[in-house]
Amino acid sequence: MPEIKICGLSTPDTLDAALAAGADWVGFVRFPRSPRHVALDTARSLSHRAKGRAGRVVLLVDPDDDALAAAVAAIGPDLIQLHGRESAARVAAIRAATGLPVMKALGIATRADLARVADFAAVADRLLLDAKPPPGAALPGGNGVRFDWDLLAGADLPAGTMLSGGLCADTVAEALRRTGLTALDVSSGVESAPGIKDPARIAAFVAAARG
């Protein structure tokens, strides 16, 4: 059964919808330019609501030490997701400083982009493969675009590698089949508008992924 993360949750109702659908992970975005950004107080409340019901993830983009510490203190995450241009050394430093597992997102557009997998697999607890943002995009992820999944054919990927980018209820079965991955991260694909999660789409996504 695929492992599912619903990212960019920002309200109690949509968090409850993700939990009711059976999400394994729920993600809270701390990146002001994102329509899914949540204030620390909101993230704290949502994280407390999800505690013991799903793994809690805080998504950070090139955080400095102060931003990292504030997010960890408020949210108490089970996993830190790094979605910026963090180096392997920075990933290792964040993991050491917080004592928490770290998932590093890597943007994929060509087969050559997979060359970085080994470096980050050595320091991160797991990897997330997302489509590289389109030219001029304001966000490093959550853009609703996907990369060519056939690029992963024969690739040596660590266990637990997550797939993101362009996933929705209509594409998830194909994604699982073509990539062979068993962990999925969805955000824009379960929204009715940028940053607005749709409980019905969340339920449909999980059902399609596990059907």
- The per-residue pLDDT for 141 is 55
pLDDT single digits (tens) 186-208: 999 999 999 999 999 999 999 99
- The per-residue pLDDT for 22 is 98
Higher pLDDT, 134 or 127: 127
Query: 196-197 and 191-193 as β-strands: parallel, antiparallel, unpaired?
Result: antiparallel
pTM for the full predicted model = 0.95
pLDDT single digits (tens) 159-191: 999 999 999 999 999 999 999 999 999 999 999
* Range of the structural domain that residue 61 is part of: 3-210
- The per-residue pLDDT for 145 is 77
Q: Interior CA angle at 175 toward 30 and 196, to 5°?
A: 35
CB count within 10 Å of CB 203 equals 17
pLDDT single digits (tens) 17-34: 999 999 999 999 999 999
For residue 206, give Cα distances in angstroms to 3, 59, 68, 101. Answer: 10, 21, 30, 25
Specify the residue for token string 């993700």: 18
Task: Tally the domains of the chain.
Answer: 1
Give the CATH number of the domain where residue 196 resides.
3.20.20.70
Instruction: Place 60 in a pLDDT band, splitting at 50, 70 and 90.
Output: very high
Residue 140 has pLDDT above 70, yes or no: no
- The per-residue pLDDT for 132 is 85
* C-alpha to C-alpha distance for 81 and 7, rounded to whole angstroms: 10
Residue 143 has pLDDT above 80, yes or no: no
